A = this chain, B = another copy of it.
């Protein structure tokens, strides 16, 4: 197969090495075989839009490689980034199951490999394979959980600083750096995008970062960020 956008395409789910690590993909062979027959392996460049908020659901997108930005946006153009989806995640799942419009917009921020499955095919597949159906329920629970966290962060924070601190701690806990004395993390997003993740303005994010650096809580080394004072950051994250 051709390798578009510099991707190394995973041909078959059955031989995929990452299969066991992934919540959805770890299905019994019989289910996986039938999944194999209805999926379309596709590749997208960076910046491609998988689906847009408000569209009728065409089907699900299983993310195999690359990252996808999930966002909602208001009529005035203001955007809120809900999360950055990682490989293994199923996108457009809830809309496809319920038949309601996609509730958010999915846009690739890396070159991505994606397995697409049409809605009718997927629903039929679920009816026939109850273990897959259970996996779907698990994925949806996970998504709901994340959404609840987002609600908590947006609704119960007193200040933008609190939300930023929460976000940084969350990031550092994801890449396994959290237990280290001085966790490091790659800043893959612009201030603008960070602002959209915590529902504030770009300038505020810049100011907050400047403040955290002045107070020796954070330190920038090129594009990686070092958390120099975990305790202080955690204090900021809980009611500042």
Contacts and interface: CB of A to CB of B under 8 A. Distances in A.
Contact of A148 (B104, B134, B140, B155): B104
A75 interface: yes
Contacts of A238: 75
Q: How many copies does the complex hold?
A: 2
B141 A76 contact: no
Contacts of A115: none
B140 A134 contact: no
A82 B21 CA distance: 33
B151 A72 contact: yes
B74 A144 contact: no
Interface string A70-106: 0011111010101000000000011101101001100
A226 interface: no
Contacts of A141: 93-95, 97-98, 100, 140
Interface in A133-147: 133-134, 136-138, 140-145, 147
A218 B76 CA distance: 26
Contacts of A76: 239
B150 A151 contact: yes
A156 interface: yes
Interface string A128-169: 001001101110111111011111101110000000000000
A199 interface: yes
Shortest 7 CB-CB contacts between residues of A and residues of B: A130-B130, A147-B147, A140-B140, A98-B141, A94-B141, A74-B156, A103-B148
Given A72-B148, A98-B141, A104-B148, 18 more contacts: A72-B151, A72-B155, A74-B152, A80-B151, A80-B152, A80-B155, A80-B156, A93-B141, A94-B145, A130-B133, A133-B133, A133-B137, A137-B140, A143-B144, A150-B151, A151-B151, A154-B154, A154-B155
Interface of A: 72-76, 78, 80, 82, 93-95, 97-98, 100, 103-104, 126-127, 130, 133-134, 136-138, 140-145, 147-152, 154-156, 199, 238-239
6 contacts: A75-B239, A82-B148, A97-B137, A100-B145, A137-B140, A143-B144
